[in-house]
Amino acid sequence: MEKLHDVAGEVSQQGAPIPCDVLTGYLGSGKTTFLNRFLKSSEALGTAVVVNEVGEIGIDQVILGEVSDNVLLLDSGCLCCSLNGALRETLLNIAAQAKRIGMPLRKVVVETTGLAEPLPVLHSLIGDRALAGYFALGRVITTVDARLAAEQIRMQRETARQVAVADVLVITKTDLVDAAQVSAVGTMTIAMNPRARRIDAAADNALHAAFCEATPDREPIAPLEALAHQHEHGHHDHARGVHETLVGAESFWIDGDTSWPGIAAWWQLVVERYGARLLRCKGLFRLKETQAAVLIQGVGTHFYPPETLLRWPIGDNRARLTVIGEALERDWLASSLRALRIDEAGLLPRNLDELDRILPGQH
């Protein structure tokens, strides 16, 4: 095995980082079948796949190997248990090998085991310094079994968290249930994750929509008009399973510009409140200092360096924010947004009472 720094030295940092999509979903939800279909399509040209399975003998990579030579298997075991080193080395080796043979590497798809907790995978792809400049998190694609989704979301914590952090939800096996059940799954997942795009795996454009359309990070939370309606409808009418799992998402428009101290203060406040219950946050803000548009991301309790965008996404230019987690309180989160008005460094409130003392009378 080549030394990591030697492999990294072979990988060019010129150009945009290669997007790494994370394909997740509970056991038997159709991940491999959906990925197999994509690899057979012309749009998969330049795609490498990393498969992770639980157990001593890998099966999925054999299935995928029937249609693609660009399939690599991580050491057996769960990505959430021993991810960093194995995935980092595999990705850098993929890039180095592609460069040696002159193959244009356009995308990597990391297929996780159905038992994987999604957050460590996202941590590695966002925060691993060895991968910075070479690879970047693309989209999180979660497959959801239309037949079993309601029960799995209620009973399996992994399913609920996989749904909650998704950028794209692919509803599989819709041909095996009636329209009412498909609709119920859609309503349940909307209440848990209103910002994700929903795709019927059987639709003609499903593969393109899931794997090939614009990376969600460039337009992270849209359209918000639909979000507000979907959120209210889902929580009040059809979210029995969501209430039982306590996983959900809250989205907000934010008027006005903010600053680095305000973003830091808000993040401190939210981490103090939710701790391990916090799954993911994504937001787009305009900075007072520079008028630059910045994308912020948090995974779990870790906040990653904001990314400055070249331009504000087309459409409404208000700041926007989505928080995903367990047992979120919309009213509390709405009150916490006042922390974004803080413009003095070092002011890090731990609760709303402390925020009131920092910003008296600003409710």
Domain match, 144 and 278 both = no
- pTM of the predicted protein model: 0.65
Domain match, 162 and 100 both = yes
Structural domain range at position 132: 4-218
Whole-number Å distance between alpha carbons of 218 and 150:
31
Q: Cα–chain-centroid distance for residue 249?
A: 13
Domain match, 283 and 181 both = no
In a domain, 226, yes or no: no
pLDDT of residue 332: 96
Domain match, 174 and 264 both = no
pLDDT of residue 223: 30
Domain match, 83 and 139 both = yes
Domain match, 214 and 341 both = no
Alpha-carbon dihedral 153, 155, 156, 157, rounded to 10 degrees: 80
Domain match, 54 and 147 both = yes
In a domain, 54, yes or no: yes
Name, in order, each residue with C-beta under 8 angstroms of 183's C-beta and a sequence gap of 6 or more: none
Spell 117-144 as b/e; 16+ CB within 10 A means b: bbbbbbbbbbbbebbeebbbbbbbbbbb
Domain match, 336 and 253 both = yes
pLDDT of residue 274: 94
Whole-number Å distance between alpha carbons of 263 and 154:
34
* Contact criterion met (CB below 8 Å) for 313 and 222: yes
DSSP string computed for 4-37? HHHHHHHS---SSPEEEEEEEESTTSSHHHHHHH
The CATH number that applies at residue 62 is 3.40.50.300
Domain match, 161 and 259 both = no
Hey, what are 195's tokens? 């910002």
In a domain, 228, yes or no: no
In a domain, 231, yes or no: no
pLDDT < 50: residue spans in the chain: 1-9, 12, 54-67, 72-82, 215-244
pLDDT of residue 220: 38
Structural domains counted in the chain: 2
The CATH number that applies at residue 286 is 3.30.1220.10
Domain match, 190 and 257 both = no
pLDDT of residue 59: 39
